[in-house]
Structure 1
Amino acid sequence: MITSLEVYERSASCYFTRNIFKEIRNEIQRAGALNITVLSTTLDKVEFSVTALGDPAKDQRVEVDRGKNMFSCSCKLFESRGIPCSHIFCAMKFENILEFPDSLIYKRWTKNAKNEFISTEMPVNDDIERVLKFRVGALASNCNKLCDIACKDLADFDEVQSELVNLVIRLQSRKQGKSTPNVNVEGINDPFVVKSKGAPSKRSSWRKKRACSNCHKYGHYYKRCPDLMQHSVEGNPCDRSYGNASAKDSGFSPERFANSSRSFSIKSEHHSGPNTKVRFVYSK
């Protein structure tokens, strides 16, 4: 509580929703800076003049009906917005009213505004779609109220859960024209999890098969191609290994190549400019 009128602030927090309570709390806080004067009084009614502190020219008239416990102010904030103004709270403080009166509680701003029963009686010639929407709203309102009550206790939750399951099964059987089966609630399990649609997994086992570059068939590579192996057996020179074998048979070796005398001579053509051509000549 942040205001000095804690009685009114606590009552408003119990009745109204969060956003409406913030507006009412501002009005309660403004009531502390108001002065009140009695203008007239009768058996059941009394009229006040409420002025702001330091500005007596701006005054509001508040009328209180003590018999009916009703309030009315000349600023008309409650009639237009549904929120009691600071002038009414000042009059309540002067009358020493400790409880928040029901006449100042606008039903649509309360926390349980949606939990009220909604009638489903509709004219026969009305639109069927409108009737269905109206019935859905009534059932949803009662179900919300039932959930708020049953979820706070385990025994109530089990009872409501079993009753709802049996009720759903009974209504479905009635629509299908079958007798109500005797179903045990404990035998009902969770539904099966269905794989949702979407992009395939990145870790897919499918891979594109690699074909042989020689015969363009699947199942082997170039080195193990049956056609090349057959040609190599027959001595066909198209085999790649044939070139290596001929090189070995010809007596070629790296040692002989390294020991051989070789020299290089550089001949350059004398031309002016940056694009000078250089020619390398190898002689053994």
Structure 2
Amino acid sequence: MDRVMDRHREGEGKDDFNSCEGCPVLITHLKVYEQQAAEKYTRAIFRLVREEIEKEGMLTAVLCDRDIGCTTYRVRQFGVSGKHFQVVVNETTKTLSCSCKCLETLGIPCSHCFIVMKAENITEIPPAMILSRWSMTAKYAVQSPSETSLQCLHYMTQEARVSMIYASYGSFLRYAASSVAAYNEAISDIHNLMLRLEAMSQGEQSTREAFHSTETVVRNPEVILTKCLVKRQKNTQGQKGKCSRCGGRGHNVRKCK
């Protein structure tokens, strides 16, 4: 059970590291939305959003009604007549709602919203449509530092701990390099932290060496001869190589000539 949990924690740490530090290749025609999705969403949710952006190329949008603070579009797939979806743009809340209910069910903008945003010349995904539970910072926003440290216990593998540290330092690296003052303060704190960790590591290493030097080595038990075995060896020691028929040595009764 512990090995299974270790694999899950190690996989989670690697996914967090890839989400925070990885930079996916932009492949869609709407790179403005794709770039924002790559910066906000985790990698798993980003792939779903990218699929919706790719579907936008096969859709057409027709303006139906424009009212005060509200604009309605009719979206349908190119070359397919009949079924259509209705997308409403709310100018007050800066949000889009679609009749497919993709945002309400999956929590991501649908392809119908992307084509309407392009028609309305909206250059970024509205912040209200990016749910916090799918963002890269959702995990660290709800956990306190003590809860996060509980995940790095002794039963975690070294690879899992390294991945968790990389994931935790994703935002730290960006903020530390934002200005010269932030860089200087970060370098000073990192140097002091390295000295403390080095002293801690040396202390643990000396403790392990002392433990290994004082530990009892289990060896094979000594062979103790019993009385019967000692008597048998004494009786057979003098008769070794003596023939019982002729009394000669160097052969037995079977080989006696």
What TM-score do the two structures reach when normalised by structure 2?
0.59
Taking the TM superposition and a 5 Å limit, the aligned residue runs for 1:183-194 are: 188=200, 189-191=202-204, 192-193=207-208, 194=211
Report the residue type matching 1:216 in the other structure: V
Q: Equivalents in 1 of 2:65, 2:90: separation in Å?
A: 12
Closer/same/farther in 2, CA of residues 135 and 76 from structure 1, 3 Å limit: same
Taking the TM superposition and a 5 Å limit, the aligned residue runs for 1:184-263 are: 188=200, 189-191=202-204, 192-193=207-208, 194=211, 205-206=219-220, 208-209=222-223, 211=225, 216=230, 222=233, 225=234, 239-240=239-240, 243=243, 246-247=247-248
Superimposed CA distance per residue, residues 147-185 of structure 1 (whole angstroms, 9 cap, x where no aligned partner): 5537x87644344467xx7xxxxxxxxxxxxxxxxxxx8
Closer/same/farther in 2, CA of residues 242 and 109 from structure 1, 3 Å limit: closer
Q: Unaligned 5+ residue runs, structure 1?
A: 119-133, 166-184, 230-237, 249-256, 258-284
Taking the TM superposition and a 5 Å limit, the aligned residue runs for 1:145-156 are: 147-148=169-170, 149=172, 155-156=188-189
Percent identity for Structure 1 against Structure 2: 26
The match for 2:7 is: none
The match for 1:21 is: 46
More strand by share: 1
Q: Unaligned 5+ residue runs, structure 2?
A: 1-25, 152-163, 177-185, 250-256
Matching of residue 31 in structure 1 with residue 56 in structure 2:
yes
Superimposed CA distance per residue, residues 76-132 of structure 1 (whole angstroms, 9 cap, x where no aligned partner): 1111221111110010010111222201101000011012155xxxxxxxxxxxxxx
The match for 2:132 is: 107
Closer/same/farther in 2, CA of residues 216 and 139 from structure 1, 3 Å limit: closer
Q: Of 12, 33, 37, which aligns to 1:12?
A: 37
Tell me the secondary structure at the aligned position of residue 92 of structure 1: helix
Q: Equivalents in 1 of 2:97, 2:27: separation in Å?
A: 26
Tell me the secondary structure at the aligned position of residue 56 of structure 1: coil
Q: Of 40, 45, 61, which aligns to 2:65?
A: 40
Higher relative contact order (CA 8 A, sep 6+): 2
Larger Rg: 1
Residue 10 of structure 1: how far off its partner (Å)? 1.5
Paired residues, number: 193
The match for 2:147 is: 137
Report the residue type matching 1:108 in the other structure: R
Closer/same/farther in 2, CA of residues 30 and 6 from structure 1, 3 Å limit: same
Report the residue type matching 1:209 in the other structure: V
Report the residue type matching 2:58 in the other structure: A
Residue 28 of structure 1: how far off its partner (Å)? 0.7
The answer to whether the 8 A contact 1:117-1:138 is kept is no
The match for 1:260 is: none
Report the residue type matching 2:248 in the other structure: A
Residue 138 of structure 1: how far off its partner (Å)? 7.0
